[in-house]
């Protein structure tokens, strides 16, 4: 009993610590924020959050739910219900650790920024929104966190507001997330009207209609950049590198997957929804990996790598293994954030150069950064016993030993080899080979504010997999026995990718022009997805709007058939009969005679 009370209060302590920089400046003039204060806040919150984690692991608690009701007025009660279970209690220290390292890195990276405090404040607000999302027990609070991370993503991607591409990218992010939000709101509305609740626990695990599940999957597609709503993620690299590291690799983009993890008991019974997740994830992972092979911008390669890993997480959800998906989220956070920080260090050291074709031989000049880059890439590829291995290899093993869509399996295996390909390509082009830099570069990685975060995350990338898997209890039995080929499927796919990568880099070192084939064009133009969809979506909407509003209503009904049409009709009749009214008596008398004749003939 005391353990649980202790756990409860220890869980709330880091939350309170994080909220301090938002509240204290309002209370007194002397307690203004500064970047260093915010960094130390997050660091202390991380250290404090390790305590509830250890308590949770050793006491064997399943979950703790905290319920408050915020009584606005008499009958309007806002339920604030927090759930502390293995997912949220594990996510909290990991998110805080990664954020601490990123903030420390941002002190060096964005040191020349005039609004550094605001930048740090935005990052902290983002973290608060993300944590609200993770500890939410009802859809209401989750929605608050969801929208919060969306807004902060918009503000942070467009941090350098003067840059038109940054504004476009921020807008793109918001629009694509909005399309996903439609799905979330749809599900929430369905829950509210059919089940009369928004609490996660009351949502049924029995057979239910696929409608809200489709809404949730749409929300995850939007937020986690699955295929169909994916273009915003590579475009989001317009933001500063700390933003890319925090939002678009570790925390925000996993919000969609996290939603599906929280609601997995509803998905578990609906095989159609599971298959949809599976195929969508497989398609996303392969598409992103294909696009990553041809990229030349180091940040875009890592962005597509994130997108590919998100597809892999979606595949895991489709296999009905939410715990494994969460494990992949946790391990992925470490090495992906580290990859981004290393790329940030490289970019700054080369004076703003982001093209890997203009880098080379950095292993001797930036040893710490490049070593950590190598560690990160190896972890990403799933090298045995680094962090990525524990989650990725398990996912591939489960894929191979489950009864599922073969196409999804093939796509995922292909994407695994592509992962190895582009990672190794990036590593080889950046670190080894002839130096393709300009002779004078401000290469300097000697500041502790850059070394400590990267090495910390490198340590995490190596140890995290082992630590997390040692201490969590799996809810489903993992496949233990399988044929040797199946067991080594992931490793062999990776080695195949490595061989392909070495072939690619050997080809690029010769002086032949790369030939443009259809496949290379497809890959480097990101599948032409942006060009096909962005223009057609808006033009079709606008054309239909014009057809209905302008052509149909204004022209047809008001002009042709309505008042003006009637006037036109009268006018044409009048014009025809004007010819007859020529003022000559003969016409009138003639018509008189004719009519008399007709009357006489008719009456007889």
Partner 1 sequence: MSTLHLSFYSAFTLSSLGLAFHRTHLVAALLCLESMLLSMYIALSTWPVETQMTSSALLPMLTLTFSACEAGTGLALLVASSRTHGSDHLHNLNLLQC
DSSP 272-333: HHHHHHHHHHHHHHHHHHHHHHT--BHHHHHHHHHHHHHHHHHHHHHTT-HHHHHHHHHHHH
Closest CA to 282 of 406, 188, 155, 159: 406
* Shortest distance in whole angstroms from residue 594 CB to partner 1: 8
Cβ distance to partner 1 smaller for residue 566 or 589 = 589
Q: Which is nearer to partner 1, 201 or 595 (CB)?
A: 595
User: Cβ closer to partner 1: 407 or 588?
Assistant: 588
Q: Tell me the closest approach of the beta carbon of residue 580 to partner 1, in angstroms.
A: 11
CA distance linking residue 295 with residue 306, whole number of Å = 14
CB of 572 to partner 1, least distance (A): 17
Minimum CB separation of residue 587 from partner 1 in Å reads 10
Spatial contact of 422 and 285, defined as CB atoms under 8 Å apart: no
Q: Provide the minimum distance between the beta carbon of 567 and partner 1 in the complex, in angstroms, as a whole number.
A: 19
Residue 583 C-beta: closest distance to partner 1, Å: 3
The nearer residue to partner 1, 566 or 593, going by C-beta atoms, is: 593
* Minimum distance from residue 584 beta carbon to partner 1 (Å): 6
Q: What separation in angstroms does the CA of 279 have from each of 168, 284, 381?
A: 30, 8, 22
Buried b / exposed e over 544-573, threshold 16 CB at 10 Å, is eeeeeeeeeeeeeeeeeeeeeeeeeeeeee
Closest approach of Cβ 579 to partner 1, in Å?
Answer: 10
Q: Kindly tell me which of 36 and 580 has the beta carbon lying closer to partner 1.
A: 580
What single DSSP character describes residue 66? E
Burial class of 604 by CB neighbour count within 10 A (0 to 12, 13 to 18, 19+): exposed
**463 vs 594 by CB, closer to partner 1:** 594
Contact residues for 432 (Cβ-Cβ < 8 A; gap 6+): 360, 361, 363
Q: Which is nearer to partner 1, 556 or 572 (CB)?
A: 572
CB of 598 to partner 1, least distance (A): 13
Q: Are 321 and 398 in contact (CB under 8 A)?
A: yes
Q: Which residues bind partner 1 (CB under 8 A)?
A: 578, 581-586, 589-590, 592-593, 596
Cα 164 to chain center, whole Å? 22
- Comparing CB distances to partner 1, the nearer of 539 and 572 is 572
**Residue indicated by tokens 């591409």:** 165
Beta carbons of 441 and 349 less than 8 angstroms apart: yes
* Minimum CB distance to partner 1 smaller for 16 or for 597: 597
CA distances from 187 to 65, 267, 274 (A): 23, 13, 17
């Amino acid at each position: 009993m005391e353990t649980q009370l202790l756990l409860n209060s220890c869980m709330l302590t880091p939350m309170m610590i994080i909220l301090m920089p938002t509240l204290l400046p309002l209370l007194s003039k002397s307690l203004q924020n500064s970047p260093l204060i915010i960094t130390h806040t997050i660091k202390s919150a991380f250290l404090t959050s390790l305590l509830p984690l250890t308590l949770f692991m050793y006491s064997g608690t399943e979950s703790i739910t905290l319920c408050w009701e915020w009584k606005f007025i008499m009958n309007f009660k806002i339920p604030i219900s927090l759930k502390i279970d293995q997912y949220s209690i594990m996510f909290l220290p990991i998110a805080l650790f990664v954020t601490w390292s990123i903030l420390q890195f941002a002190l060096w990276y964005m040191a020349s920024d005039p609004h550094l405090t605001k930048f740090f404040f935005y990052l902290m607000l983002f973290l608060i929104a993300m944590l609200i999302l993770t500890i939410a027990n009802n859809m209401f609070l989750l929605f608050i966190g969801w929208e919060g991370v969306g807004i902060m993503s918009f503000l942070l991607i467009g941090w350098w507001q003067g840059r038109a591409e940054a504004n476009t990218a921020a807008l793109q992010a918001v629009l694509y997330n909005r399309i996903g939000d439609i799905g979330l709101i749809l599900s929430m509305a369905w829950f509210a009207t059919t089940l009369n609740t928004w609490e996660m626990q009351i949502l049924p695990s029995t057979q239910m209609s696929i409608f809200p599940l489709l809404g949730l999957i749409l929300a995850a597609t939007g937020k986690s950049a699955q295929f169909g709503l994916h273009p915003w993620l590579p475009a989001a690299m317009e933001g500063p590198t700390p933003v890319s590291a925090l939002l678009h690799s570790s925390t925000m983009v996993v919000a969609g997957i996290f939603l599906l993890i929280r609601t997995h008991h509803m998905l578990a019974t609906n095989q159609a929804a599971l298959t949809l997740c599976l195929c969508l994830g497989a398609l996303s992972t392969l598409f992103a990996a294909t696009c990553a092979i041809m990229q030349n911008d180091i940040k875009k390669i890592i962005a597509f790598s994130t997108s590919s890993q998100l597809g892999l997480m979606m595949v895991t959800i489709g296999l009905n293994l939410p715990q494994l998906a969460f494990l992949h989220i946790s391990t992925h956070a470490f090495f992906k954030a580290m990859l981004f920080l290393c790329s940030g260090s490289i970019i700054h050291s080369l004076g703003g150069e982001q093209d890997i074709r203009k880098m080379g031989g950095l292993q001797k000049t930036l040893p710490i950064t490049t070593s950590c880059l190598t560690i990160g890439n190896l972890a990403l590829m799933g090298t045995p016993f680094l962090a990525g291995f524990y989650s990725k290899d398990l996912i591939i093993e489960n894929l191979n030993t489950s009864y599922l869509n073969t196409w999804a399996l093939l796509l995922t295996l292909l994407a695994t080899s592509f992962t190895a390909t582009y990672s190794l390509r990036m590593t080889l082009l950046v670190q080894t080979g002839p130096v393709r830099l300009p002779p004078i570069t401000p290469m300097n990685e000697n500041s502790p504010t850059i070394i400590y975060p990267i090495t910390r995350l490198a340590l995490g990338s190596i140890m995290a997999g082992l630590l997390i898997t040692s201490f969590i209890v799996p809810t489903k039995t993992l496949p233990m026995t399988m044929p040797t080929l199946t067991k080594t499927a992931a490793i062999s796919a990776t080695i195949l990718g490595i061989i392909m990568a070495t072939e690619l880099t050997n080809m690029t070192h010769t002086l032949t022009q790369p030939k443009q084939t259809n496949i290379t064009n497809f890959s480097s133009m990101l599948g032409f997805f942006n060009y096909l969809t962005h223009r057609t979506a808006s033009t079709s909407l606008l054309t239909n709007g014009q057809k209905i509003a302008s052509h149909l209503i204004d022209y047809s009904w008001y002009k042709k058939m309505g008042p003006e049409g009637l006037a036109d009709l009268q006018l044409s009749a009048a014009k025809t009969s004007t010819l007859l009214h020529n003022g000559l008596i003969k016409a009138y008398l003639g018509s008189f005679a004719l009519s008399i004749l007709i009357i006489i003939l008719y009456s007889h």
